[in-house]
Structure 1
Amino acid sequence: MKKYALITGASGGIGQAVACNLAAKGYSLYLHYNKNEQSIMGLMDKLLPYGGEYIPIQADLTTSIGYKSISSQIFSLDAIIHCGGNSQYGLLLDLQQEEAEAVMNIHVLNPLMLTKELLPKFLRKGSGNIIVITSIWGQTGAACEVAYSAAKGAQIAFVKALSKEVALNGIRVNAIAPGAVATPMMEGFTPEEVEQISFEIPMGRLGLPEEIAGSVAFLLSDDASYITGQVLAINGGWYT
């Protein structure tokens, strides 16, 4: 029987790596994106050899109702991987309300409401997996990323609370908190800044999207059947 997973933010670096990993394991995929259609089309080409069903879904999760465009197109479902996200740099004093709303919509409101809309599919099956890609800054906070840190911290609270609510229904809910990962989100940093960040990380390098994807696959697997409500930190020892 086919397994279906929804990946939000599938056009991003981590989302693409997760998609390739799960496709190789036989999953069919709903691939959400917002503006980067070219990236999704390229990803679809990469996935074709795996022989699954791959369905692109466009939705703007920076708006408060973005989740509705996704939930209406989901049918069979075994897993949700919330990868959608954006960064927001700057002092809190300079934060505009529209920026704050966009950050909270994409990281908190839409994942929460999308999960709520899709949860009945898991309840009917008596099984399901939900994984949220949060951040090291949701665990410890970052200066000049206050709104982002607050949103990522809310994701962790969401995971811990929901995991308790649905555990008896056979549904597991976990989070992965990457540190600095070599994705397009790092392109705003200069080579010198990336070098400095790498120096601060005990393992001396940025993480790879494939390393995050491997952990997603583990949490979805039967090897993780007794793991729920947890935050798996993947940060090279940067924050312990």
Structure 2
Amino acid sequence: MAGSVLITGGTRGIGRAAVKAFARAGWRVAFTYRENRAAAASLLEEFSHAVALAGDVSHRDEAERCVAEARVCLGPLDALVCNAGIAQQKMFCDLTNDDWDRMLGVNLMGAVHFIRAVLPDLIHKKRGSIVTVSSVWGIEGASCESHYAASKAALIGLSRSLAAELGPSGIRVNCVAPGVIDTEMNAAHTEDTIRTLAEQTPLGRMGTAEEVAQTILFLCSDSASFITGQTIGVTGGF
């Protein structure tokens, strides 16, 4: 049964596809964005009942404000999708403290802040779903992206731990680990790198943001009512 969902990082890539997938499935949707007002506005033109919330997920006070605003507009939340994330390619020896702080602040602590803020709704209802968006690199590791891979691996550990802790409250927590997906984030790679990664994928192509979004939607739906603590790879077999 559709309910209300908050999706972080909803204006591009997987997040944008998730906003569209949930809205088309009849969910009441709120999504966050940091700066891209034009992209947020274009979503609202297509889905007039969606709610756009500006804020930096790495700041706890802004996360709490976004959740409070979503609650006012949608009522108590039924699901949370922690999708907001950043990437950076840099040799480990060249990474600065600021690089690490920003990467972990957005990718890991952003999820922590939103989960903390949304949990009272889910615990009160004794049901609900949380989905975090990790990466195949959080499982396999990634050369020249050690801080990115570490932040994504941390999301897997966080999700599995919360699944065990929150299961008795009827709350499901799962993680999606996309592979090589055709998004702006991967567009930073060279054409040769993209081609090589696609060739290393058994299905022989990059995935789409929509394919990942459908997996997230499934995990939040009643069709996944007995699935928790899992890391689902949407990787084409990579």
TM-score, normalising length: structure 2: 0.94
> CA 1:229 to 1:73, structure 2 compared with 1: closer, same or farther past 3 Å?
same
- Quote the residue 1:29 is aligned against: 29
State the distance in 2 between where 1:225 and 1:21 align. Answer: 19
The CA deviation at 1:63 is 4.3
| Segment drifting more, 196-205 vs 152-161 | 196-205
State the distance in 2 between where 1:64 and 1:120 align. Answer: 16
Contact 2:57 2:113 survives alignment (8 Å): no
- Quote the residue 1:141 is aligned against: 141
- Quote the residue 2:54 is aligned against: 58
- Quote the residue 1:80 is aligned against: 80
- Deviations 1:193-229 (CA, angstroms, capped at 9, x unpaired): 2112111111111100110011111111222111000
- Quote the residue 2:4 is aligned against: 4
- Quote the residue 1:67 is aligned against: 63
Q: Secondary structure in 2 aligned to 1:205? A: coil
- Deviations 1:129-188 (CA, angstroms, capped at 9, x unpaired): 100011001111111010000000000000000011111111100000000100111221
Q: Which structure 2 residues correspond to residues 61-210 of structure 1 after superposition, within 5 A?
A: 61-63=57-59, 65-75=61-71, 76-210=76-210
Q: Number of aligned pairs?
A: 234
State the distance in 2 between where 1:210 and 1:230 align. Answer: 20
The CA deviation at 1:113 is 2.2
Percent identity of paired positions between Structure 1 and Structure 2 = 30
Unaligned runs of 5+ in 1: none
Contact 1:65 1:110 survives alignment (8 Å): no
State the distance in 1 between where 2:169 and 2:86 align. Answer: 32
The one-letter code matched in structure 1 to 2:183 is T
Q: Secondary structure in 1 aligned to 2:7? A: strand
Q: CA RMSD in A?
A: 1.5
Contact 1:58 1:69 survives alignment (8 Å): no
The one-letter code matched in structure 2 to 1:164 is A
| Segment drifting more, 55-64 vs 112-121 | 55-64
Q: Secondary structure in 1 aligned to 2:185? A: helix
State the distance in 1 between where 2:132 and 2:167 align. Answer: 16
- Deviations 1:85-104 (CA, angstroms, capped at 9, x unpaired): 01011111000111111110
State the distance in 1 between where 2:60 and 2:199 align. Answer: 39
State the distance in 2 between where 1:79 and 1:132 align. Answer: 11
State the distance in 2 between where 1:113 and 1:64 align. Answer: 5
Contact 1:10 1:16 survives alignment (8 Å): yes
State the distance in 2 between where 1:69 and 1:137 align. Answer: 31
- Quote the residue 2:46 is aligned against: 46
Contact 2:132 2:174 survives alignment (8 Å): yes
State the distance in 2 between where 1:64 and 1:43 align. Answer: 25
TM-score, normalising length: structure 1: 0.93
State the distance in 2 between where 1:130 and 1:62 align. Answer: 18
Unaligned runs of 5+ in 2: none
Contact 1:31 1:57 survives alignment (8 Å): yes
> CA 1:93 to 1:150, structure 2 compared with 1: closer, same or farther past 3 Å?
same
